[in-house]
Structure 1
Amino acid sequence: MRLRLFWLAIAALYAAPVVAGLYGAGWGAVAGFALIFTGFNALMERIPPQLPLAAASIAVVALLALVTVSAGWGLRALTGFGGTLPAWPWLALGLGATALARAAFPPRLTREMDQFLDEATDQLETMAEELGALDAAAAATTLDDEAVARMEAALDALPPDAGADTVARVVLPLTDQAAPAALFEAALARAQAAPCPRDHAALHWAAVADEAIDLCTGQQHLARAFAQFTEAGDHEALYRFSGTAIRLIHDDPHAWRDMPDSGEIIRVALAVEADNPALGEELAGLGRAMMELEREADG
């Protein structure tokens, strides 16, 4: 209600000099409305305390009085309106509008509203910061993090020499619940920190799962797993990897791009052949298959 009264008063305040000009008020009306506009600014505490700024403010409202009265003169000339009335009723309307605006929105109320708006803005900014912090905290624990945590807890519950099939029952169900890359990186970190059959089996399944092959081809997961098994000298893991990898590169037209190059595979095959002929032969077969694929890719 206060706001409506205030805007009604403002409308009357600016309409009064226009109508005065329309009814033939003279230059005295311009001076009168300049005083009213100045009084309005003074009552609403809108005149700056600095003298130059105060003078500029008064000059602006005097110009506004001239413009609004001149608008009425222009309408009178354009419409041919011939009615005349003295200026005082319109000056009285301007004074009444000023009083109404002051009563509806006194400066104290305006200051209180400004303070309220400032406080509300501060509260909103604080809430936004708190929500941002909550979002960041929520983002810090993602579905990938949860899946990795479940995998690590389940692996820790198994003995270090747990078999590959047992480990598969831990890792493979998680590959459709989290990004394959997240599971792979977690499994690789475990295997590098403390190589053992259990963690090498987890790394194997994280690298060769269907989701990993579909989404991670080109990220060298297979090559990195092969390098870890080779560095650790885990012949069982290399044999398992070789058998799976040769099926993968024949079944998937892109999986071979995730593999180590054929020369590296042949090098490892020759290095293990003396101690493990079966593994050497298996790796040599994988190396020859990779050579054929590389040759076809080169055209």
Structure 2
Amino acid sequence: MVATLPLYLGPLLAGLSGLGWSAIPVFVALMALWLVVMRPQDWPRRVALWTPAVVLAAAAQVAINAVIVVILFGIGRGLGGVGGFVLPLPPLVPVALSFLSIPLSRMVWNPETAQQMDQFLDQALDQIHAINRGAPQVGAGAGADPMLKTLLDLPDDADPVLTADAIAAAMCAPGAALRLSLLQDELDHGLVPRNGLREGLILWATDTVRAADDRVHGVQLTGFLAAGFDARLLELFARRALPLLQAQPGLWSSYPDTAEIGLALEDSLPEAVQDSLRALAAAVEAATPPEERLSEA
């Protein structure tokens, strides 16, 4: 994350500017403060929640960051010594630079959202284990499936990568095909755009590692349909789906056919997106067996 770069530049510049080793505790404290602000779930506000395990985990985080500070500070001192120069910086400049990382990181990353996603993943995995232990199977609608309901309840600004992980967890349980179909119906006919969920679905559907063990047919088609006519999502799908198909041409039947891709080729789309979709259509055509192409014609 770019916002964390100043956090590490501070001790490096402090070493280059010739500050003494007594400055190290200041940067260790700043890194500890960054941890408290960005990972509040690891730093309970109530004393009763500070169990030995929590104390040990917090101490380990501080110790690791202390080692990083010492290494960066030492590198700065070493570079200055080898080069025979000292940066003419006031002592407060490196300190202020490291401190600046805290509000910057908080502006670009919401720790509450990350915590919510962690809780969701834990919940999804618990549900998977419950199903594997013989809990009731997926019902006839979205409301009857707790995992699908949890997916639909995700905030739209949730991290798409974590959303993709959540979808992967939900699709590992029995009833994945029905669950995926219900999810597609919700995205097609729901009143809420759910762009974050759509992006996560595309990332999941076009994941190379996951696709190698695909057990549900039409996953890539679902990812394509999730993009709708959104130029950014279509570009994301085409950019990831093309190398996946080239690496695993046997997935051709799970992809949208050339006619479906052609329907998305609107003149209003940026030329680069249109080119990506045309390249994907050509790859689908090439991967489709000749007899299947004849039957489609």
Give the TM-score, by structure 2 length.
0.43
Give the TM-score, by structure 1 length.
0.43
Bigger Cα Rg = 1
Higher share in helix: 1
